[in-house]
Amino acid sequence: MPHKILIVDDHLVVREGLKLLIETNDDYETIGEAENGMEAIKLVEELKPDVVLMDLYMPVMSGLDAIKKLSISHPNLPIIILTTYNEDQLMAEGFDLGVKGYLLKDTSLESLFHSLRAALMGETLINSDMMDRIRNFKKQEQAKVHLSHLEIITLQAVANGRKSKDIAADLGVSERTIKSRLTTIFNKLAVDSRAEAVAVAMHAGLITLKDQNK
């Protein structure tokens, strides 16, 4: 008996394209299509799919909201997000909700079936590029939330090429204090070096490559 796939996307061309790909393999069949998250939840109850392919941006109810509800009502249902390359925040939130993978909407036949097989086996399949994007987004969000004013000043000085001794003199504290502060910054941002900390903070918009006041 073929595995049952539910496709959820508000664009007909995307649904039809995925359906055509799925129909090339006798191990899978498309049992239903939904245009929004609300329809998806209803069809999950009615059709009992083995895997759901879920878009994120949809009217009525977004894919992410549907995933949140399904993670409670059907915690073991494998969900694969259909995505584009400009949805870092939503991909990160989906990852936290336990989705089993991400597929670009113009995915290849090989990638589609590889993702479906992995999801059915309970595995989470995310390619290294998308995983890096999710991790970088999380680090940037951590930077925005967790770095104090003094930590940002210190990291800006590092970005400007200042050494710990010079930063300490500028701020009127000991060099040991600066080194301790940098260690705290590394821990908050989950990084291992000054260069990585600066890169994360720059991407988060907290510091610039050059201090504009100098």
Residue 147 shares a structural domain with residue 122: no
pLDDT tier for residue 89 given thresholds of 50, 70 and 90: low
Is 110 a domain residue?
yes
On whether both 18 and 92 belong to a single domain, the answer is yes
pLDDT at 34 over 90: yes
- What are 101's strand-pairing partners? 80, 125
Q: Evaluate whether residue 41 is within a structural domain.
A: yes
Q: Under a CB-based contact definition with an 8 Å cutoff, are residues 208 and 159 in contact?
A: yes
Residue 111 has a pLDDT of 84
For 191, the domain range is 135-203
Domain identity same for 106 and 161: no
Give the mean pLDDT of 26-48.
96
Q: Does 198 have pLDDT greater than 50?
A: yes
| Domain match, 24 and 92 both | yes
Mean pLDDT to the nearest integer, 37-42:
96
Rounded to whole angstroms, the Cα distance separating 83 from 103 reads: 6
Strand locations in the chain, DSSP E? 3-8, 28-34, 51-55, 79-83, 101-104
Q: Which amino acid is at 3?
A: H
What is the average pLDDT across 103-114? 83
Assigned domain for 209 exists: no
Task: Give the largest CA-CA distance in the chain.
Answer: 73
Report how far residue 10's alpha carbon sits from residue 45's, in angstroms, rounded to the nearest whole number.
19
| Residues in CB range of 204: below 8 A, 6 or more apart | 139, 140, 141, 143, 144
Asked if 122 and 144 sit in the same domain, the reply is: no
Range name among 7-11, 144-148, 157-161 with the lowest pLDDT average: 144-148
Domain boundary among 94, 126, 158: 126
For residues 130-150, average pLDDT? 71
pLDDT band (50, 70, 90) for residue 212: very low
| 142 and 110 co-located in one domain | no
Flag whether pLDDT at 157 surpasses 70.
yes
Q: pTM for this structure? A: 0.60
Number of domains in the chain: 2
> β-strands 28-34, 79-83: how paired?
unpaired
What is the reported pLDDT for 28?
A: 96
Residue 140 has pLDDT above 70, yes or no: no
The HSE-up count of residue 3 (CA atoms within 13 Å, CB side) is 19
If asked whether residues 140 and 120 sit together in one domain, one would say no
For residue 98, which of 82, 80, 111, 83 has the smallest C-alpha distance?
A: 80
155 found inside a domain: yes
Tell me, yes or no, whether 25 and 115 share the same domain. Answer: yes
Are 91 and 192 part of one and the same domain? no
Percentage with pLDDT > 90 across the chain? 48
- Angle, CA of 50, 32 and 131, to the nearest 5°: 55
Helix (H) or strand (E) run with residue 29 in it: strand 28-34
- Are both 118 and 92 inside the same structural domain? yes
CATH number at residue 13: 3.40.50.2300
Read off the CATH number of the domain in which 192 is found.
Answer: 1.10.10.10
Assess contact for 178 and 155: CB atoms under 8 A: no
> What's the mean pLDDT in 81-97?
66
**171 and 196 inside one domain:** yes
Residue 41 pLDDT: 96
Task: Fill in the DSSP letter of residue 2.
Answer: P
Does residue 19 sit in the same domain as residue 92? yes
